[in-house]
Amino acid sequence: WYFYSKQQDETPAWKKVNYQNVYKDIADLLEDENYDDGSYGPVFVRLAWHASGTYDKKTRTGGSAGATIRHAPESEHGANAGLDVARRRLEPLKQKYRNISYGDLYTLAGVVGVQELGGPTVQWRPGRSDKQADACTPDGRLPDAAQGADHVRDIFYRMGFDDREIAALVGAHALGRCHTYRSGFDGPWNASPTVFTNFFYTELLENTWVPKKWDGPKQFVDKPTGAFMMLPADMAFKTDPRFRTYIELYARDQDTFFNDFSAAFAKLLELGVKFPEDAPTYRFKTLD
Ligand code: HIF
């Protein structure tokens, strides 16, 4: 009996979780007709990305491993405004699956968001372990939407991405919208913000984008409808010649976009994580 109980105690927490069940439970949390465009998927994708995108390859700090995004001061960083909504939505699952780490829960929620909204399968591994507030990253590691191509490159090169990967990631702005009470910007990027498509690229290339006339921060709207938006940082992908090559590729070839996005997003969620050697790689089935 002693031997048996000792064995049990030594099973690492991450091994005691059925991740396909967690996937299903997160998927069941997505739909809510009273929230935004009817789905928490987009804000889960943003949570997973902001939890991960603090990584700095030189100092090997940041990334999703510690889930420091849930602690102040990181939770209060301007770039993270509104993500408390996503964390609160997921909290009951942390209570239900006591052995899951927040880092695994938040990144898995991003995978669910992408897949359940019609995007590609994203490979994912468990085994992140949470850290306390003293591991919070400094403000300024996430991109500033008011800036252009140089800034976007500085931020994503720091994480270890190249131009093609950055251009593939930005297609996620087909999902969701900007909220004046979160970022100050306003509106969705296209007409189907709860479906994962390559419309970010097609809209960016096919529309004429003009500065929005308003008191808010500088952003662009499509002419003539004004229904859709682009951030100054999004516009950089159209004007920068090296980014633009990939934007044109992904606009005409949705399969290549899906493949490249899947790889780049999986890489993002793993930045800085030291996985246990026996952590399996999951390819989750989507719900029907
Ligand atoms: Fe976003 N992003 N992002 N983003 N983002 C916003 C919303 C979403 C940037 C700025 C913003 C990526 C890159 C960049 C999503 C996913 C990803 C908002 C609006 C801003 C300002 C927040 C709000 O007001 O609610 C910048 C400057 C980026 C560098 C180019 C990633 C590639 C596109 C890495 C990525 O995956 C998603 C999803 C949303 C929508 C959230 C929602 O609540 O609907």
Verify that 69 and 119 share a domain, yes or no: yes
Give 22-43 pLDDT, tens digit per residue.
999 999 999 999 999 999 999 9
pLDDT surpassing 90 at residue 9 = no
Q: Which residue(s) pair with 282 in the sheet? A: 124
Structure confidence at residue 193 (pLDDT): 98
**Confidence at 195, pLDDT banded by 50, 70, 90:** very high
Backbone angles phi, psi at 223, to 5 degrees: -105, 130
Backbone angles phi, psi at 177, to 5 degrees: -155, 170
**Confidence at 220, pLDDT banded by 50, 70, 90:** very high
Rounded to the nearest whole angstrom, what is the distance from the C-alpha of residue 141 to the centroid of ligand 1?
14
Nearest-CA neighbor of 165 among 249, 263, 252? 263
**Confidence at 7, pLDDT banded by 50, 70, 90:** low
Q: Six-digit token pair at 262?
A: 């899947």
Verify that 11 and 78 share a domain, yes or no: yes
Atom number, ligand 1, closest to the C-alpha of residue 48: 36
Verify that 23 and 93 share a domain, yes or no: yes
Identify the residue with better confidence: 176 or 2: 176
pLDDT surpassing 70 at residue 67 = yes
Structure confidence at residue 34 (pLDDT): 97
3-class DSSP state of 177: strand
pLDDT surpassing 60 at residue 169 = yes
Give 70-121 pLDDT, tens digit per residue.
999 999 999 999 999 999 999 999 999 999 999 999 999 999 999 999 999 9
Identify the residue with better confidence: 10 or 158: 158
Verify that 29 and 159 share a domain, yes or no: no
Atom number, ligand 1, closest to the C-alpha of residue 182: 24
Residue 16 burial (CB count, 10 A): 12
Rounded to the nearest whole angstrom, what is the distance from the C-alpha of residue 138 to the centroid of ligand 1?
19
Atom number, ligand 1, closest to the C-alpha of residue 147: 27
The closest residue, in CA terms, to atom 15 on ligand 1 is 46
User: Does 235 reside within a domain?
Assistant: yes
User: Does 276 reside within a domain?
Assistant: no
What are the pocket residues of ligand 1 if the criterion is a CB atom closer than 6 Å to any ligand atom?
Answer: 42-43, 45-46, 49, 82, 143, 145, 152, 169-170, 172-173, 175-179, 182-183, 185, 231, 233
How far from 217 is each of 5, 111, 147, 220, 267, CA to CA, in Å?
A: 59, 31, 12, 10, 31
Distance CA 280, CA 18 (A): 12
Rounded to the nearest whole angstrom, what is the distance from the C-alpha of residue 10 to the centroid of ligand 1?
40
CATH of the domain at 65: 1.10.520.10
CA 86 to chain centre: 12
pLDDT surpassing 70 at residue 199 = yes
Residue 172 burial (CB count, 10 A): 23
The closest residue, in CA terms, to atom 8 on ligand 1 is 46
* ipTM at complex level: 0.98
The closest residue, in CA terms, to atom 13 on ligand 1 is 170
Distance CA 256, CA 32 (A): 31
The closest residue, in CA terms, to atom 43 on ligand 1 is 43
Verify that 114 and 214 share a domain, yes or no: no
Residue 178 burial (CB count, 10 A): 21
Active site amino acids: 50, 189
Verify that 197 and 229 share a domain, yes or no: yes
Q: Six-digit token pair at 21?
A: 């069940």
DSSP letter assigned to residue 282: B
- Total tally of structural domains belonging to the chain: 2
Q: Which residue range is the domain that position 187 belongs to?
A: 149-264
Atom number, ligand 1, closest to the C-alpha of residue 268: 34
Rounded to the nearest whole angstrom, what is the distance from the C-alpha of residue 274 to the centroid of ligand 1?
26
CATH of the domain at 227: 1.10.420.10
Asked whether 244 and 204 are in contact (CB, 8 A), the reply is: no
The mean pLDDT value for 219-236 works out to 97
Rounded to the nearest whole angstrom, what is the distance from the C-alpha of residue 23 to the centroid of ligand 1?
22
The closest residue, in CA terms, to atom 9 on ligand 1 is 145
User: Does 106 reside within a domain?
Assistant: yes
Verify that 67 and 192 share a domain, yes or no: no
**Confidence at 10, pLDDT banded by 50, 70, 90:** confident
pLDDT surpassing 80 at residue 56 = yes
Verify that 64 and 168 share a domain, yes or no: no
Structure confidence at residue 201 (pLDDT): 98
User: Does 160 reside within a domain?
Assistant: yes
State the chain's mean pLDDT as an integer: 97
Verify that 33 and 108 share a domain, yes or no: yes
User: Does 56 reside within a domain?
Assistant: yes
Verify that 157 and 132 share a domain, yes or no: no
Verify that 68 and 30 share a domain, yes or no: yes
Verify that 29 and 132 share a domain, yes or no: yes
Atom number, ligand 1, closest to the C-alpha of residue 236: 30
Structure confidence at residue 3 (pLDDT): 59
The closest residue, in CA terms, to atom 32 on ligand 1 is 170
User: Does 73 reside within a domain?
Assistant: yes
- 67's torsion region: left (phi>0), alpha (psi -120 to 50) or beta? left
User: Does 284 reside within a domain?
Assistant: no
pLDDT surpassing 90 at residue 2 = no
The mean pLDDT value for 234-257 works out to 98
Rounded to the nearest whole angstrom, what is the distance from the C-alpha of residue 259 to the centroid of ligand 1?
20
The mean pLDDT value for 137-153 works out to 98
**Confidence at 6, pLDDT banded by 50, 70, 90:** low
